[in-house]
Amino acid sequence: MSNSLFSKEMQDQLKELKGQLSKGRDTSAADGDNQKPTEPVSLLTQKQVKRTVKQLDSEHVDDDKVLFMQAMHGVNQLEDKNVRSVTGATKTSKPDAATLSKRAAAQGSEAAELGAALSDMQALLNPVAAESILSYKQPSLQNKVFTQLKQGKLRWYDAVDIHGCTIEEARAAMTQLLSQAKQNNETSVKIVHGKGSEAILKTCVNGWLRQLPEVLAFCSAPPKDGGNGAVLVLLKKSKTEGE
C-alpha cells in the first residue's frame, strides 16, 4: 500500500479536476468575448471536489479496517476463566454404589471394618414392607433435631444409590459412604435403597444402620429427597484434635 492516503484512481481524479480548474481560470482571463470556456467548472466542480474528498476519507477508514483484519488473522479469542457460565453448568457427580463398593474393597480400612461388624442375619430377621416409613434415633439425640431430620431441614452432604446391588455390594457401598462422611466431618448423608417387591435392600439398610454406634438417627426421606425409597442418616460429629 502507498504511503499516500489516496489511491491511484483518486489521485488521477484530483489531477483531472485541477486541470479543469486551470482551464477555467485561463479562459476567464483571456482577451476577447468570442472565446468561451471549454467546460463550466464553477459549482459543479466544487461539488465534485467535496464528493471526491468524502470518498477518500471513506477509503482511508476502509484501509484501516483491512490492516486491522490482516493483523488479527489467525488470532483466536481466549476464554476468560474468571467468568462463570450460568447456563450449562454441570454438578460434580456422586460416586455410584459400584464405585464405592470397589473403593471399600481396595482400601480395606475403616469401611471394611464397619462392614465386617454388620450382621446380615440380624437385619433380615426384621423385615420391613416396601411402603413402610423407617424411623430410628438414639435416646441421647434431641427430639428437635430428629424432627428437623425427618422434615429434611438438615443438609445432607453426600449420597449413594444402591439400586440393583447385591447385599454384599450394598453393604460395602453404604459403609464406604459413612466412612467418607466421617473423614470429611460430614454429619448427614442419604442412602437411596428403593422399595422393590420384597424390599430386601431396604430391610438390610434398616437393620445395618441400627447396628452402628456412629449413627445417631435415620428416617425415611421427605418426598423431595426420595420419600420412603430413601433414608436420611444423621451421624455423630467427628472428634477434632485436642478434644
Task: Kindly report, residue by residue over 67-88, the tens digit of the pLDDT.
Answer: 666 666 665 655 554 444 433 3
Separation CA 11–CA 16 (nearest Å): 9
At 190-224, the pLDDT tens digits run 999 998 888 999 999 999 999 999 999 999 999 99
Q: What is the CATH number of the domain that holds 102?
A: 3.30.1370.110
| Number of domains present in the structure of the chain | 2
State the DSSP code for 169: H
Same domain for 106 and 224, yes or no, is yes
Same domain for 226 and 111, yes or no, is yes
Same domain for 45 and 156, yes or no, is no
pTM equals 0.56
Is 184 a domain residue? yes
Same domain for 50 and 168, yes or no, is no
Is 119 a domain residue? yes
Same domain for 45 and 137, yes or no, is no
Sign of the torsion angle spanned by Cα atoms 146, 152, 158, 160: positive
- Domain containing 174 equals 97-235
- C-alpha angle with apex 228: 223 to 234, nearest 5 degrees? 90
Phi, psi of 231 (to 5 degrees): -125, 145
